[in-house]
Amino acid sequence: MQMFPENQQVSEGFCTSSDLWFAQSELQQLLVKAARGAGYCWSDAEEIGWAAAWLSKFGLPGGDFMLSLMLLNDLQAPRLATQRWKGNNHPLCPLRCGLALMDFAQLPEGLGVSSLVIESMTGLPCFLAFTAQTARQIQHPLQIQWEEQSLFINEDAQPSVEIDQVSMEFGETVDVRITRSNSDMVSIETKNPQYCVRVSKQILEQLEAFAYQTLVPASDLSRLRAGCHDDPTS
Protein backbone atom coordinates (compact mmCIF):
# COMPACT_ATOMS: atom_id res chain seq x y z
CA MET A 1 0.00 0.00 0.00
CA GLN A 2 1.36 3.40 -0.85
CA MET A 3 0.72 7.11 -0.99
CA PHE A 4 -0.34 8.67 -4.28
CA PRO A 5 2.79 9.59 -6.30
CA GLU A 6 2.73 13.01 -7.93
CA ASN A 7 3.87 11.89 -11.38
CA GLN A 8 1.73 8.77 -11.59
CA GLN A 9 -1.10 8.56 -14.11
CA VAL A 10 -4.43 7.74 -12.47
CA SER A 11 -8.07 7.87 -13.40
CA GLU A 12 -9.97 11.06 -12.86
CA GLY A 13 -12.48 11.57 -10.07
CA PHE A 14 -10.02 11.52 -7.21
CA CYS A 15 -10.44 9.42 -4.11
CA THR A 16 -12.11 10.32 -0.84
CA SER A 17 -10.15 10.49 2.39
CA SER A 18 -11.09 6.87 3.16
CA ASP A 19 -9.61 5.54 -0.11
CA LEU A 20 -6.18 3.90 -0.17
CA TRP A 21 -3.67 3.46 -2.99
CA PHE A 22 -1.97 0.20 -3.91
CA ALA A 23 0.65 -0.85 -6.41
CA GLN A 24 -0.68 -3.30 -9.02
CA SER A 25 1.36 -6.13 -7.51
CA GLU A 26 0.04 -5.38 -4.01
CA LEU A 27 -3.57 -5.51 -5.17
CA GLN A 28 -2.91 -8.74 -7.04
CA GLN A 29 -1.38 -10.41 -3.97
CA LEU A 30 -4.26 -9.26 -1.77
CA LEU A 31 -6.84 -10.63 -4.20
CA VAL A 32 -5.06 -13.99 -4.40
CA LYS A 33 -5.19 -14.32 -0.61
CA ALA A 34 -8.80 -13.15 -0.46
CA ALA A 35 -9.86 -15.63 -3.15
CA ARG A 36 -8.13 -18.44 -1.29
CA GLY A 37 -9.96 -17.40 1.86
CA ALA A 38 -13.23 -17.39 -0.09
CA GLY A 39 -12.65 -21.04 -1.01
CA TYR A 40 -11.09 -20.88 -4.48
CA CYS A 41 -8.26 -23.26 -5.36
CA TRP A 42 -4.76 -21.83 -5.83
CA SER A 43 -4.92 -21.72 -9.63
CA ASP A 44 -8.30 -19.95 -9.64
CA ALA A 45 -7.16 -17.56 -6.93
CA GLU A 46 -4.11 -16.60 -8.97
CA GLU A 47 -6.31 -15.94 -12.02
CA ILE A 48 -8.63 -13.78 -9.90
CA GLY A 49 -5.66 -11.79 -8.63
CA TRP A 50 -4.35 -11.27 -12.15
CA ALA A 51 -7.80 -10.25 -13.44
CA ALA A 52 -8.24 -7.68 -10.65
CA ALA A 53 -4.86 -6.15 -11.47
CA TRP A 54 -5.63 -6.01 -15.21
CA LEU A 55 -8.98 -4.31 -14.65
CA SER A 56 -7.45 -1.78 -12.27
CA LYS A 57 -4.60 -1.14 -14.68
CA PHE A 58 -7.14 0.19 -17.17
CA GLY A 59 -9.18 2.25 -14.75
CA LEU A 60 -11.85 -0.20 -13.59
CA PRO A 61 -12.42 -1.15 -9.92
CA GLY A 62 -10.90 -4.62 -10.15
CA GLY A 63 -10.96 -5.23 -6.42
CA ASP A 64 -14.65 -4.33 -6.21
CA PHE A 65 -15.58 -6.56 -9.14
CA MET A 66 -13.67 -9.57 -7.87
CA LEU A 67 -15.11 -9.14 -4.38
CA SER A 68 -18.58 -9.23 -5.96
CA LEU A 69 -17.59 -12.50 -7.65
CA MET A 70 -16.47 -14.00 -4.33
CA LEU A 71 -19.79 -13.10 -2.71
CA LEU A 72 -21.76 -15.06 -5.33
CA ASN A 73 -21.98 -18.83 -5.02
CA ASP A 74 -24.76 -19.72 -7.44
CA LEU A 75 -23.12 -19.06 -10.82
CA GLN A 76 -22.55 -21.95 -13.20
CA ALA A 77 -19.85 -23.14 -15.55
CA PRO A 78 -20.88 -23.04 -19.23
CA ARG A 79 -21.85 -26.02 -21.35
CA LEU A 80 -19.45 -25.78 -24.27
CA ALA A 81 -20.67 -26.14 -27.84
CA THR A 82 -19.63 -24.79 -31.22
CA GLN A 83 -20.47 -21.08 -31.57
CA ARG A 84 -22.68 -20.87 -28.46
CA TRP A 85 -22.21 -21.58 -24.75
CA LYS A 86 -25.20 -21.96 -22.46
CA GLY A 87 -26.02 -22.76 -18.86
CA ASN A 88 -28.80 -24.68 -17.18
CA ASN A 89 -31.33 -21.90 -16.70
CA HIS A 90 -28.94 -20.10 -14.39
CA PRO A 91 -26.45 -17.24 -14.92
CA LEU A 92 -22.96 -18.25 -16.02
CA CYS A 93 -19.82 -17.49 -14.01
CA PRO A 94 -17.38 -15.02 -15.64
CA LEU A 95 -14.39 -16.85 -14.15
CA ARG A 96 -15.46 -20.25 -15.52
CA CYS A 97 -16.33 -18.72 -18.90
CA GLY A 98 -13.04 -16.83 -19.03
CA LEU A 99 -10.88 -19.82 -18.18
CA ALA A 100 -12.76 -21.97 -20.70
CA LEU A 101 -12.29 -19.29 -23.37
CA MET A 102 -8.53 -19.39 -22.87
CA ASP A 103 -8.45 -23.19 -22.90
CA PHE A 104 -10.61 -23.54 -26.03
CA ALA A 105 -9.62 -20.36 -27.89
CA GLN A 106 -8.22 -22.18 -30.92
CA LEU A 107 -10.73 -25.04 -30.93
CA PRO A 108 -14.17 -25.33 -32.59
CA GLU A 109 -15.87 -25.00 -29.19
CA GLY A 110 -14.12 -21.67 -28.69
CA LEU A 111 -13.06 -19.06 -31.22
CA GLY A 112 -12.00 -21.58 -33.83
CA VAL A 113 -15.01 -20.57 -35.95
CA SER A 114 -14.19 -16.85 -35.58
CA SER A 115 -16.98 -15.94 -33.14
CA LEU A 116 -18.65 -17.23 -30.00
CA VAL A 117 -21.81 -16.27 -28.11
CA ILE A 118 -22.01 -16.83 -24.35
CA GLU A 119 -25.57 -16.69 -23.08
CA SER A 120 -26.70 -15.25 -19.75
CA MET A 121 -23.38 -14.41 -18.14
CA THR A 122 -23.13 -12.34 -14.97
CA GLY A 123 -20.05 -10.31 -14.10
CA LEU A 124 -18.99 -9.12 -17.55
CA PRO A 125 -16.17 -6.87 -16.19
CA CYS A 126 -14.42 -9.91 -14.70
CA PHE A 127 -14.72 -11.74 -18.01
CA LEU A 128 -13.04 -8.91 -19.93
CA ALA A 129 -9.73 -9.64 -18.24
CA PHE A 130 -9.76 -13.18 -19.60
CA THR A 131 -10.64 -12.05 -23.11
CA ALA A 132 -7.53 -9.86 -22.87
CA GLN A 133 -5.43 -12.87 -21.93
CA THR A 134 -7.00 -14.80 -24.80
CA ALA A 135 -6.22 -12.05 -27.33
CA ARG A 136 -2.60 -12.08 -26.25
CA GLN A 137 -2.51 -15.88 -26.25
CA ILE A 138 -3.78 -16.21 -29.83
CA GLN A 139 -2.09 -12.98 -30.98
CA HIS A 140 -5.25 -11.68 -32.57
CA PRO A 141 -7.47 -8.70 -31.62
CA LEU A 142 -10.94 -9.46 -30.30
CA GLN A 143 -14.20 -7.55 -30.30
CA ILE A 144 -16.55 -8.02 -27.35
CA GLN A 145 -20.22 -7.09 -27.83
CA TRP A 146 -23.17 -7.11 -25.45
CA GLU A 147 -26.55 -5.43 -25.69
CA GLU A 148 -25.84 -2.23 -27.70
CA GLN A 149 -22.26 -1.90 -26.52
CA SER A 150 -18.86 -3.09 -27.69
CA LEU A 151 -15.14 -2.66 -27.25
CA PHE A 152 -11.93 -4.03 -28.76
CA ILE A 153 -8.94 -5.68 -27.11
CA ASN A 154 -5.73 -5.88 -29.12
CA GLU A 155 -3.18 -8.69 -29.25
CA ASP A 156 -1.17 -6.98 -26.50
CA ALA A 157 -4.14 -7.28 -24.12
CA GLN A 158 -4.91 -3.54 -24.27
CA PRO A 159 -8.57 -2.46 -24.40
CA SER A 160 -9.93 0.29 -26.60
CA VAL A 161 -10.92 3.59 -25.00
CA GLU A 162 -14.58 2.52 -25.07
CA ILE A 163 -13.86 0.72 -21.81
CA ASP A 164 -14.38 4.13 -20.16
CA GLN A 165 -17.74 4.67 -21.83
CA VAL A 166 -19.59 1.37 -21.68
CA SER A 167 -21.77 0.24 -18.80
CA MET A 168 -19.88 -2.00 -16.40
CA GLU A 169 -22.55 -3.27 -14.01
CA PHE A 170 -21.25 -6.44 -12.36
CA GLY A 171 -24.66 -7.81 -11.43
CA GLU A 172 -26.18 -7.44 -14.90
CA THR A 173 -26.76 -10.68 -16.82
CA VAL A 174 -26.05 -10.34 -20.54
CA ASP A 175 -25.41 -12.33 -23.70
CA VAL A 176 -21.85 -11.72 -24.90
CA ARG A 177 -20.42 -12.16 -28.39
CA ILE A 178 -16.65 -12.52 -28.82
CA THR A 179 -15.32 -12.17 -32.37
CA ARG A 180 -11.90 -12.34 -33.95
CA SER A 181 -11.71 -8.76 -35.16
CA ASN A 182 -10.70 -7.95 -38.73
CA SER A 183 -10.51 -4.24 -37.94
CA ASP A 184 -7.23 -2.41 -38.34
CA MET A 185 -6.25 -2.02 -34.68
CA VAL A 186 -3.72 0.66 -35.62
CA SER A 187 -6.65 3.03 -36.17
CA ILE A 188 -8.32 2.12 -32.86
CA GLU A 189 -7.26 4.13 -29.83
CA THR A 190 -6.37 2.02 -26.80
CA LYS A 191 -6.66 2.94 -23.14
CA ASN A 192 -3.49 4.12 -21.42
CA PRO A 193 -2.54 2.00 -18.40
CA GLN A 194 -2.23 3.34 -14.88
CA TYR A 195 0.00 1.92 -12.20
CA CYS A 196 -1.64 3.12 -9.01
CA VAL A 197 -4.82 1.39 -7.80
CA ARG A 198 -7.44 3.09 -5.66
CA VAL A 199 -9.35 0.88 -3.20
CA SER A 200 -12.00 2.10 -0.78
CA LYS A 201 -11.61 1.33 2.90
CA GLN A 202 -14.89 -0.61 2.87
CA ILE A 203 -13.79 -2.88 0.01
CA LEU A 204 -10.36 -3.34 1.59
CA GLU A 205 -11.90 -4.48 4.88
CA GLN A 206 -14.04 -7.08 3.11
CA LEU A 207 -11.09 -8.38 1.09
CA GLU A 208 -8.93 -8.59 4.20
CA ALA A 209 -11.68 -10.48 6.02
CA PHE A 210 -11.49 -13.17 3.32
CA ALA A 211 -7.68 -13.08 3.32
CA TYR A 212 -7.57 -13.67 7.09
CA GLN A 213 -9.30 -17.01 6.52
CA THR A 214 -6.02 -18.31 5.10
CA LEU A 215 -4.18 -17.76 8.38
CA VAL A 216 -3.67 -20.58 10.87
CA PRO A 217 -5.17 -19.67 14.28
CA ALA A 218 -2.62 -19.17 17.02
CA SER A 219 -2.16 -21.95 19.57
CA ASP A 220 -0.46 -22.08 22.96
CA LEU A 221 2.43 -23.92 21.32
CA SER A 222 2.85 -21.34 18.54
CA ARG A 223 2.75 -18.50 21.07
CA LEU A 224 5.51 -20.16 23.10
CA ARG A 225 7.61 -20.64 19.97
CA ALA A 226 7.08 -17.03 19.02
CA GLY A 227 8.60 -16.16 22.39
CA CYS A 228 11.80 -17.97 21.37
CA HIS A 229 11.62 -20.76 23.93
CA ASP A 230 14.10 -23.48 23.02
CA ASP A 231 11.79 -26.14 24.41
CA PRO A 232 8.16 -24.96 24.31
CA THR A 233 7.02 -28.07 26.17
CA SER A 234 9.21 -27.36 29.22
5 in a structural domain: no
Compute the CA torsion angle 119, 158, 156, 184 (nearest 10 deg): 80
pLDDT at 214: 87
pTM, rounded to two decimals: 0.82
pLDDT at 221: 57
157 in a structural domain: yes
pLDDT of 228 > 50? The answer is: no
Q: What band does 13 get if pLDDT is binned at 50, 70 and 90?
A: very low
Q: Where do runs of H (alpha helix) occur along 38-150?
A: 42-57, 62-70, 94-103, 124-138
pLDDT at 164: 85
183 in a structural domain: yes
107 in a structural domain: yes
Domain that holds residue 127: 19-212
The number of domains in the chain is 1
135 in a structural domain: yes
84 in a structural domain: yes
- Is residue 143 within 8 Å of 162, Cβ to Cβ? no
User: Bigger pLDDT: 187 or 232?
Assistant: 187
Q: What band does 80 get if pLDDT is binned at 50, 70 and 90?
A: very high
191 in a structural domain: yes
206 in a structural domain: yes
